[in-house]
Structure 1
């Protein structure tokens, strides 16, 4: 057989296969898609700033009188109330000092009484010159000195009573108490030995800083008393919410940030001193914003876009993403009546043939962001 008929036969076969493949390619069915419309609602953009939880107050417990520590009357790590007895110092020495001061007061009161009686007795004698004026003035001076001594003794008794009260050390604030740093049986020194600390944690404060560009937003949040969500360090779980109560009066020249403080009720005690959290602060508010699921917005070489349908084919429409929050994207650039393909098929591309499956599914657009 000549090779030319063979070549013609092979060529015909190849062309036939190519024709079949082309025919098969044209017969690919259109992608089944669903449509959603943007949700129109007022939206507030919250930005999380890392902060440190700090006690509202911290009290360091130090004795005001020296002596032997007799009792520790609290459980470490528990909540204590203002005025609750925490420690007792042996009161024997201060009681003795009080008794001594009271005895001296009684003796000096008797002396003052005697001297005042002498003055009253000598007064008519001095008026009739039965005694010299000098003798009478001396009696008056002694009576006045005795009265002054009584006043000094009364002050000494009062001080002794205060010292005795210092033997019972009470909580100056309500809060959570720490470790007992000194155990019963040890000697404590006035104004020197540290016994424990108390942190007021309900309410509690959070210190954080924001860029100076957000200073106006911070001032507005403080003026309006806006509630700021407090989340964990990763921003995934809300622990509490509080209000912005302090804005520093200076912007740091080194970091271009301003220090803020939020106050949180912390009634459930989910916040702990030293803990790192995120303070979610509102930095932008948009009326009638367009909201789409994050998955509906794609990133292309020319920027973000969404897929719509144009004459039965997928068409990309440029949008601007203002911000993302959770599963939502706040966008602009398309009308609120636009219909966007979502969910997106895996093989979708601009120009792909598509067919709408069912009706507009905008009602299934789940809201999980922060709206106002």
Structure 2
């Protein structure tokens, strides 16, 4: 019986022969079990200008499927974009096609990874003049820190397969590469960076990321940067991302005024700078005391967000009550006027 490790090496060797040297999108793993559905998660706050989002995905190892969290990473060079890997059902098996960096986004199976990767192409941002511009519709950005942003609605392709994690076969996404994606697949590509590969290895060695252990609900769904690892400040990053999402929702709903938004975002940016400085001084980690201090500051910001929204709700309720009172008075005045009007 051939072991999984030997089988994986065989597949890898076959992929290297079959795929052009300029491309790193080869098939690395082939299994007969479909990957789990994609979990729903919140994107952490972008750590700084120039970071690009790489969505989470299900990888496969000796112990089965495991979740590699979505993470912000620094690309290998200016001007390149990330094409996510994807599982494709071919010849009765699910085969993994690895992700890669390149000048354009290629085919990733039509899988809706979210955050700009809606199935075809990438709508989360673009390069211009050596700078990356972020689409605030899908990217969790603090505009007080990163100013090269824009707002544009995105298109989700294959919306009926919103959480499907593979292409083709039974219940898979029925997508085929477009001419543009085919062209992108033959451009010069770059392998995942060393930090991406190290991050994947960390996920592979963490039992809580195994689908067989977590039932398709990994303990770590996303991280702010690869150096955060697992349990090394991710809870701080996740909370920052959640609070920014609450702020964005408050702005969209009109519950937070521009002044309130600036206040909490400036405080959030200060917390982010503190966390980055603390990590830089401690080899990329936060001490227990530092986590406690940051958590307290985040509690204060969270309370401010809740208070701002609560005040807005109270104002709206008061306006509604006043409107009903005024309306009642107008209706009552109308009845009096009707009563006093002489009959014909």
Asked if TM exceeds 0.5, the reply is: no
Which protein has the larger Cα radius of gyration, Structure 1 or Structure 2?
A: 1
What TM-score do the two structures reach when normalised by structure 2? 0.21
Higher helix proportion = 2
Structure showing the higher strand proportion among its residues: 1
Which structure would you say has the larger RCO, counting Cα contacts within 8 Å and 6 or more residues apart?
Answer: 1
